[in-house]
Amino acid sequence: MEKIVRQSLLYDFYGELLTEHQKSIYEDIVMNDLSYSEIARLNGISRQGVYDMIKRCDKILEGYESKLKLVEKFVNARNKIADIQESIEVLKTKNQDEQLGSMIIDIEEKTSKILEDF
Amino acid sequence: MEKIVRQSLLYDFYGELLTEHQKSIYEDIVMNDLSYSEIARLNGISRQGVYDMIKRCDKILEGYESKLKLVEKFVNARNKIADIQESIEVLKTKNQDEQLGSMIIDIEEKTSKILEDF
């Protein structure tokens, strides 16, 4: 997994356990794609300070993940849903019955929403 | 949700963030259904001490839930899957085609395994 994707997932799951200050800086780097220099200037700290804080946040978030493994479980569940969606696609092409067809589409739509809260 | 069911879910998600001692006592009450008196005797502490520790663990676990809401999200996802499974049951009864039937059963089985890692 690309580093920024992992950071984003870790933040989605455990970000609320960081302090407001940590969250703000982590979001600026990971979600808002600002540069270290920009964030240093905006927060009145050194570039090295920003670097250290991101590294510290990564460590905190990875620490929670190593204990709770919720990103891993979520990614597994998401892959299983993608696999089911492929099976539903095949089912749709094989099916000839109109009534069944709309039931299958209903199941497909519901399946795409299973993890929407996460 | 019944208190013991909620405690068990909270423990499933956040239990690893408790200390070993807290985990052991919480598990004995919530999973192993031991009495406060038994646990007090086994750990050489007072019944009140056990009571206080469970209350403290509840508070810690609820604190994580109030921030991360992972039990809530998981329960929502589980309800959505139950709803999909009902739709699949109806689809099965309406379907007359044997090939489609085995594809539907395959989807049903995969659906039941989406959250098995959690």
For residue A9, the distance in angstroms to the closest alpha carbon of chain B comes to: 13
pLDDT in 10s for each residue of chain B, 118 residues: 899 999 999 999 999 999 999 999 999 999 999 999 999 999 999 999 999 999 999 999 999 999 999 999 999 999 999 999 999 999 999 999 999 999 999 999 999 999 999 9
Selected residue of B94, B111, B116 to mutate for chain A interface (largest A Cβ count, 10 A): B111
Contacts of B43 (CB under 8 A, 6+ apart): B25, B50
Q: Interface pTM (ipTM) of the complex?
A: 0.90
Q: Which residues of chain B make contact with A97, given a CB cutoff of 8 A? A: 95, 97
Contacts of B66 (CB under 8 A, 6+ apart): none
Task: Say yes or no for a CB contact (<8 Å) between B114 and A17.
Answer: no
| A93 C-beta neighbours (distance < 10 Å), count | 6
CB contact at 8 A, B30 and B8: yes
Collapsed DSSP state (helix, strand, coil) of residue A97:
coil
Q: What is the pLDDT of residues A12-63, one digit of tens each?
A: 999 999 999 999 999 999 999 999 999 999 999 999 999 999 999 999 999 9
Interatomic CA distance for residues A53 and A36, integer angstroms: 11
Q: Which residues of chain B make contact with A14, given a CB cutoff of 8 A? A: 68
Shortest CA distance to B84 belongs to which of B76, B5, B96? B76
Q: What is the pLDDT of residues A80-113, one digit of tens each?
A: 999 999 999 999 999 999 999 999 999 999 999 9
Residues in chain B whose beta carbon is closer than 8 A to a beta carbon of chain A? 13-14, 16-17, 64, 67-68, 70, 72-73, 76-77, 80-81, 83-84, 87-88, 90-91, 94-95, 97, 99-100, 103-104, 106-107, 110-111, 113-115, 117-118
